[in-house]
Amino acid sequence: MDAALLDPLLEFLRFPSVSTDPAFAGEVQACAQWLKERFSRMGLEAAIHPTGGHPVVLARNAHLPGRRTVLIYGHYDVQPADPVALWTTPPFEPRVEGGVLFARGSSDNKGQIMAHILGVEQTLREKGELPVNLIFLVEGEEEIGSPHLEAFLQEHREALRPDVIVISDTGMAGPGLPALTYALRGLMGMEIRLHAGGSDLHSGTYGGMVPNPATLLARLVASLHDAEFRVTVPGFYDSVRPLADWEREAWATLPVSEEGLKAEAQVHALFGEAGYTPLERAWARPTLEINGIGGGYQGEGTKTVIPREAFAKITCRLVPDQTPTEIEAKVRAYLERICPPEVRLEIISGHGGDTFVCDPQSADALAAQRAVKAVWGREAALVRAGGSIPILTTFRRILGADILLLGLANPDCAAHAPDENFVLENYEAGVRLNRALLEELAG
């Protein structure tokens, strides 16, 4: 691959811009600074905006009246690299092997946003100007739920005012299979704690006499699903929009097999709610997952103890038209009802995020599909995705523009995991997609 394309991405990836860990705050700031300088060198007007958390980097060309305004959003922060020992090579020393680039942030999201940046750079170099009024908004807090972005958008709404928002922070439908993602799941997180009393107890002296919160917690979380693996929380599915026939039919034609999914996820078997295919379950059905569970002795050997408390961290992935508020209330009410009175239940609210859905046949979505066809020589698959980008509905509410999700990552990109990677063919296609897309969106 052309060094002019690869080198800037390698530089970008060498910043360990981990947003969740305060120890990396200096690196996050340095990464923002680097990005701002890159935008300036391309001839864009660029600035770093403090937010109270990690900064937002904004860049724009000279806006002309009568042209459409396109806002391209991405994030320069990354997930922690842990467990570092499971990486083949160090996460912040990017490595290319067999056309694949390995590094933390390569797919999520530095590689994807850099494809857009370089597309714009090429157009500016060749033509001296862009077909649209362009704004890049690259934030540093996506991986921690964008806590300062809403206030930032409110404050800058007059200066931003896009006609359409473009985001490449999702995936392709498969290798070489471009996709337009028209829906994402939402999120509702909580932690539940069961407290038995004041102290850990000798399990010989007290076993059989007092409640064991770890045992009761196991029963509690086990009663959140039935035998068909449907969520048992009353009313959980009430506001779920049923799958449309066209969705089921379109997804059934995707080259996705159960064997392929097992290999990609490195699992022995697939599992989930009865009556739906794996893609339907991950894209269009809500879930309730235990993300962490604990309590009591976790060390070597045996310890005869009755723990004084036990906990579980839970998230639900939500689908249209569920809301985090509705689902949190329903899960809380159910847990409070079924929790045995011998232990005290404590529920701590966590991350939330709205679901997202847009019309894949809108004028801009059709323009995006034409751009995809021009680049890959095939139609974009219309897909949903199981992940969440909670800020999308905030964008739509505050900026009043619709959103095009044009992901470049392969399904096996290992986002958030060891050996995260980005296929260079997708990167190069992303640069061309940016160019075709801005032409198409110019109208």
> For binding to Mn ion (CB under 5 A), which residues are involved?
108
Position 324 contacts ligand BES (CB under 6 A): no
Q: What is the 3-state secondary structure (H, E, C) of 165-218?
A: EEECCCECCECCECEEEEEECEEEEEEEEEECCCCCEECCCCCCCCCCHHHHHH
What is the DSSP annotation of 301-317?
S---EE-SEEEEEEEEE
Position 19 contacts ligand BES (CB under 6 A): no
Q: Using an 8 Å Cβ cutoff, are 291 and 313 in contact?
A: yes
Per the listing, tokens 């842990």 go with 82
Piece of 160-168, 237-245, 300-308, 387-395 that binds ligand BES (CB under 6 A): 387-395
Piece of 38-46, 65-73, 142-150, 203-211 that binds ligand BES (CB under 6 A): 142-150
Position 351 contacts ligand BES (CB under 6 A): yes
- 224 vs 392, which CB is nearer to ligand BES? 392
The only residue of 61, 123, 168, 170 in contact with ligand BES, by rule CB under 6 A: 170
Position 169 contacts ligand BES (CB under 6 A): yes
Position 328 contacts ligand BES (CB under 6 A): no
Q: What number of chain residues touch ligand BES (CB under 6 A)? A: 16
Position 140 contacts ligand BES (CB under 6 A): no
Residues 90, 91, 92, 97, Cα dihedral to 10° = 80
What is the DSSP annotation of 342-401?
TSEEEEEEEEEE--EE--TTSHHHHHHHHHHHHHHSSPPEEEEESS--THHHHHHHHH--
Residue 140 CB, nearest distance to ligand BES (Å)?
Answer: 13
91 binds, among Mn ion, ligand BES, none (CB under 5 to 8 A by kind): none
145 binds, among ligand BES, Mn ion, none (CB under 5 to 8 A by kind): ligand BES
Residue 169 CB, nearest distance to Mn ion (Å)?
Answer: 7
The Cα 174–Cα 278 span in angstroms is 15
Q: Using an 8 Å Cβ cutoff, are 311 and 192 in contact?
A: yes
The Cα 373–Cα 299 span in angstroms is 56
What is the DSSP annotation of 107-124?
IIIIHHHHHHHHHHHHHH
Give the residue among 277, 286, 271, 287 at the shortest CA–CA distance from 254: 277
Element (H, E) at 100: strand 100-102
Residue 142 CB, nearest distance to Mn ion (Å)?
Answer: 7
Residue 319 CB, nearest distance to ligand BES (Å)?
Answer: 13
Position 69 contacts ligand BES (CB under 6 A): no
> Which residues in the 82-111 window bind ligand BES by CB under 6 A?
108
The only residue of 390, 392, 406, 424 in contact with ligand BES, by rule CB under 6 A: 390
Position 72 contacts ligand BES (CB under 6 A): no
390 binds, among Mn ion, ligand BES, none (CB under 5 to 8 A by kind): ligand BES
- 250 vs 417, which CB is nearer to ligand BES? 417
Position 53 contacts ligand BES (CB under 6 A): no
18: helix, strand or coil:
strand
389 binds, among Mn ion, ligand BES, none (CB under 5 to 8 A by kind): ligand BES
User: Torsion-angle region of residue 83: left (phi > 0), alpha (psi -120 to 50) or beta?
Assistant: beta
Enter the tokens of residue 144. 């921690």
The Cα 124–Cα 43 span in angstroms is 8
Binding residues vs ligand BES (CB under 6 A): 108, 142-143, 145, 169-171, 184, 187, 351, 353, 385, 387-390
